[in-house]
Amino acid sequence: MASTPAYRARGIDPALGHLWRAAVAPPPHAILDAMADAVFVADGYRRLAYINRAARELSGWSGGEALGRPISQFVVGDHSPDRPGCRPCQIVTRSGEERPVEASIARLADGRGDGLIIVCRDIGPTVALSAQLTYRAEHDALTGLPNRNQLLTRLGAAVIDASGARHPVAVGFLDIDGMKRVNDTLGHAAGDELLVAVARRLASSVRAGDTVARLGGDEFVVVLGRIDGPARAEAVMRALMQTLSAPYQVASQPVTVGVSAGLAFCPDHGVTPAQLLACADRAMYDAKQTGAGVAVAAR
């Protein structure tokens, strides 16, 4: 005696029986296509046998053109199914872009050897947010220059490098004179515009391996690595001061500023970033009080 179909036992219209069966036991591909994670299935020859909707959207590949290609063309990284947990990989898009993902990989028997099922979670937004937060933590919000935290890191690296080199590291501390006048007469927005212009001139006037940082307010620091002695460092600082003293166009007005600078050297004036910055800062105040322009820290 034939059994009564389950949908009839539940009083479901026979015309809708196929919908009920699909809801209770949907085909595997329908389940995978409903997943938010990208799924790639490779056969025993490591060729792509299936790609779900999320994977197609993330990679830009359609199923028809992707199937049969090596799985390594789509997912770059460790494909070992014996490694537990998630691992970092990259999905290679149709245009060649590599997108970071977190992948879980399992063995899948397909009758021709062990295939693979690779489930990838897009971590691109997380990586981008992390990079953005790191950038903000290390750079001045107004000028985009390295801030104090990044300056200390770079100066520390320069000090370590100098310990094995014959050339010293020079630290220049610069103070922009006349910022209060600009803020009072043209407004703080104009003052910010001037600081950005100063930062651009400084950054474009040093070598690629040197560091220009803004400590805050109108104070900037230049780190000159492997400089050929104090005389060369002082010449570089005077050239920077001349560059910064040239007129600016701010709020449609010509503006000029003065610059006072102090210099300190590693190892003569200190062997830590804090010591070098303190000595250069004191030398800058000496230059400001005496009108010398550039002053070298006392030994």
Tell me if 35-126 shares its fold with 139-296.
Answer: no
Instruction: Please state the domain extents for the chain.
Output: 35-126, 139-296
Task: Report the percentage of the chain scoring pLDDT > 70.
Answer: 88
Is the predicted pLDDT of residue 6 greater than 70, yes or no? no
pLDDT value of position 114? 80
218 given a catalytic annotation: yes
Q: Domain 139-296: which topology?
A: Alpha-Beta Plaits (3.30.70)
Q: Exactly one of 43, 140, 210, 218 is catalytic; which is it?
A: 218
Query: What's the one-letter identity of residue 139?
Result: H
Confirm if 74 and 97 have CB atoms less than 8 A apart: no
At the second CATH level, the architecture of 35-126 is 2-Layer Sandwich (3.30)
Q: Which token pair is 192?
A: 């910010």
Task: Report the percentage of the chain scoring pLDDT > 90.
Answer: 68
94-149 confidence digits (pLDDT tens): 999 999 999 999 988 755 568 899 999 999 999 999 999 999 999 999 999 999 99
Q: Nearest Cα to 169, choosing from 148, 154, 183?
A: 154
